[in-house]
Structure formats: C-alpha cells, structure tokens
C-alpha cells in the first residue's frame, strides 16, 4: 500500500499511520467470504482496504491459491493487482 507516512515517522504513534493489524483483519474477513475467482477476491480486498483507509494512494496486491485444482504440477496460481486510488488526487 502506498500512503503518506511522514507524520508517523515523526510521532511514532500508530494513530498517525495505517495499522497492519487492521489491514490483516480486513483481509482475513474478506478471505472468509466464499468466492469462485481469485480476481474477484483480490478486487474485494482492495475495495475493502480503500473504503477503510481512504488515504491509501495505491495498492499492489498479490493473491495465490496454493495447489490449485487444475491438473498441473505447480505450487500455486495467482493474480496481481496494481491499483491507483484516484480519489486521493486533488
């Protein structure tokens, strides 16, 4: 996630940044909702994070399904999203 961290750098106060614990809770809750496609889940995670933290300027998100049921000998299949939150721009 890209967001301004300048204030947190000076204050050492978790209230001046985005809490990783809060991010984890949002991702965990989103992952518990059934879905068929990784693309859909990745988009929902990004949407939920942007909604909770409007100060996010961009999100780079990688989501991998381990041992996907596709008949190939691979450790995982995944998607990557690179999103820019235009709402943070003036």
Mean pLDDT by runs of 10 across the 90 residues of the chain is 95 95 97 94 96 95 86 85 76
Instruction: Output the pLDDT for position 76.
Output: 87
Instruction: Output the pLDDT for position 14.
Output: 92
What CATH number should be reported for the domain whose range is 6-88?
Answer: 3.30.1130.10
Instruction: Output the pLDDT for position 89.
Output: 56
Element (H, E) at 65: strand 58-66
Distance of alpha carbon 12 from alpha carbon 7, whole angstroms: 8
Instruction: Output the pLDDT for position 69.
Output: 77
Instruction: Output the pLDDT for position 70.
Output: 75
Instruction: Output the pLDDT for position 73.
Output: 79
Distance of alpha carbon 20 from alpha carbon 15, whole angstroms: 11
Distance of alpha carbon 78 from alpha carbon 50, whole angstroms: 21
- Which ranges constitute the DSSP H helices of 19-87? 20-31, 38-52
Instruction: Output the pLDDT for position 88.
Output: 56
Instruction: Output the pLDDT for position 61.
Output: 96
Is residue 21 within 8 Å of 55, Cβ to Cβ?
no
């Amino acid at each position: 996630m890209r967001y301004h961290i300048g204030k947190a750098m000076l204050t050492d106060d978790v209230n001046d940044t985005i809490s990783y614990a809060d991010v984890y809770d949002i991702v965990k809750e989103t992952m518990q909702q059934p879905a068929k496609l990784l693309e859909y889940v990745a988009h929902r995670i990004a949407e939920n994070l942007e909604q909770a933290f409007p100060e996010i300027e961009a999100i780079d998100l990688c989501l991998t399904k381990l041992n996907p049921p596709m008949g190939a000998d691979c450790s995982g299949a995944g998607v990557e999203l690179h999103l820019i939150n235009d709402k943070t721009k003036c």
